[in-house]
Structure 1
């Protein structure tokens, strides 16, 4: 114990506190890793004493490697422990899991944390800012496995920590391989340049948001229904071949060329084309039946006249069945084209209506979010005014990063009649998967002579105050805003600069 009493550096103290904040909820027992040369694998034993900060500090200093347990009733995070005989197989499964959590459960990539286990696996973790019932995390785990499917019989994805099964903490050494258990990028799985710095930057997700927006209905989850063999292969192919990042200009040109010629132009492009073209056609106003018909014609012509553009092992029936699934997912989840080419204008009267929003202590936050939803509606709303807006987009547009507070603000805007929440936490028919949350701005979108045209590539850089200064005179701004709001936004200085 004397070694552990050496002077604690500021960095060690920060790491100790962050581990306690994110991981530690149960201290009555813990596990300690050890390895005897010549044995096939490292092992763990449970010391008879409780977990103290001394053991955590020894772990941070890489003198011990310890793991923790969940409480019998409550826990504060979930870990998907991905393991297999081959690291590459674990990598593939981990990437698929991250895609699923991000796209199907609307969990921001900022809230999905992945670390290397030290041997041939990865830990995929989600942290909460408050304790949650352990059985809720168990239901979430089974729902995720249900939607992911059993990608390979060699892969295990285990729920950790449990009250009876521990989880090794990151940022120390795996005793068998002598490798550092570092954090990785959650999309590429490349090693973080500074795992400790990344770890210290982690902020837990709102427990309220997790329960309301993400947690499945536990009453409907009885057991894991794995995909059948054909669906498993199909899911793996889609995950492997679809690139979700869209370069708008070049992709639009490529899609238009294929639609014009009515056949694929490049080998092995079927997955990417079907996915991106279905989003493109949806954004152009086509319904699901029209989109399916247009893309079916492309694939049928390709099979008939340009067979070498599609893998020889892929049959036409299989490709059309897969197309139907991709198109259905695109509409159910309301995937959006990364930008829109139409001109977006914000009118003076619209801004005034946004600024007139007020409620106890939250008016500025509500005004900012209301303006963000108005802009998003103008960019992406369908003919009936419905649009999708993930929480990550709200944050990028200058709103709070707290999902719990964003949810409350959205509900406030709905109560005030500014916004309609069309659907939230809705399940797709016949599955436990959730559709994308949909909204509709309820105010009449104004017209008039006074407006500003938005640069769609710069929207994230604009703040509420920029719109005010551009569209309102200083007298108008002071009439609508309270004195504290006017000065909190720094408008006095901005109007003075505008005069110069």
Structure 2
């Protein structure tokens, strides 16, 4: 077993482990805690000895994505009843094979140890978590709804997943891999040794060309900006970026690099052009008193660093997002959304509502970003929707069509600063009905959680209801 253990641990490292600084530990009651190694505590990093303990069944460990990248995707099938979980898992596997042309031999299913299953696909190169999520959502559209259960996306930097082949600490069951056609357990550790990753191009056209060492270095640099530790830090980074832009200069000394990287991510999140983002960064830095910088730091160096970091962030399409963090939506808010005209206009209203909750009540929005929010290629659709939302009192402008004089002079053509908006309707009343929502919940999901169908129909025309809502309420 000693030699086999070494081979299994090597395979765990190859296929699953993206970060060792943060991991899960499962206890006898089946619950998990998250442990994080840092310079202030004495907790060990996830290491090979822990993986060996996991295989022995003494302690069960789980892992997280490294931050922006991961080298596998897990579909976590979680249902109230085991027969439903079996049905959902087989439906998922068949969808991956038939609709997405994933070879059945590249789909690896393991028993969760309780009522569910984990369906894993491994990749030869790191893939952006945002791209993995996009693939997951496409798959789930084809799978459809799961009665009395759900299939969740794993892993992210905030939501981990249990490693296979260990013991479920509450049930005592070994989490074997299973046959992906029958779900019969394969009671052999050798299965893992035969698993090989597939090309990342199977689900994405992007080839980032990053080695594992480069990904590790990027994650280390990104972590130093306090944007990948957890959802709270991500949200704080966004608010910090917005505050810095509003203030117009650095608000703390010794934060030039951190601010440059954060603003680069913020600009990409907001849909700005790369040169606009560099210009915003330089405006902030040039307006900051000299004592905020290290001795010998020059504007020429700031410009070079701003261009380098912005190019990197935009090339890799890295955004600051706390989309894993659940947000509270109130009934009056969703009723205000439903009062906003066409379905597309309702979609944009809901997107703006969520944006305001993530980034602050006054928020930036470009036409390009709004187009992505509601899945349209029509600028007219967005401009019409924004006009409608202003007319009905859902939003109001805080900044509209303001010329960026410095950029316009530099480029020889008129350039505008991104518009800023603020929600304009009344705040929810104390004690009002509310629900927690995640990025996967769309406007229809949230409306049905908060409102009766009869209430929804008061705000939805018959044709829209039949085309968009009917299948979700029946």
TM bracket (short chain): 0.3 to 0.5
Q: Could you say which structure has the larger radius of gyration?
A: 1
What is the TM-score with the length of structure 2 in the denominator?
0.42
What is the TM-score with the length of structure 1 in the denominator?
0.40
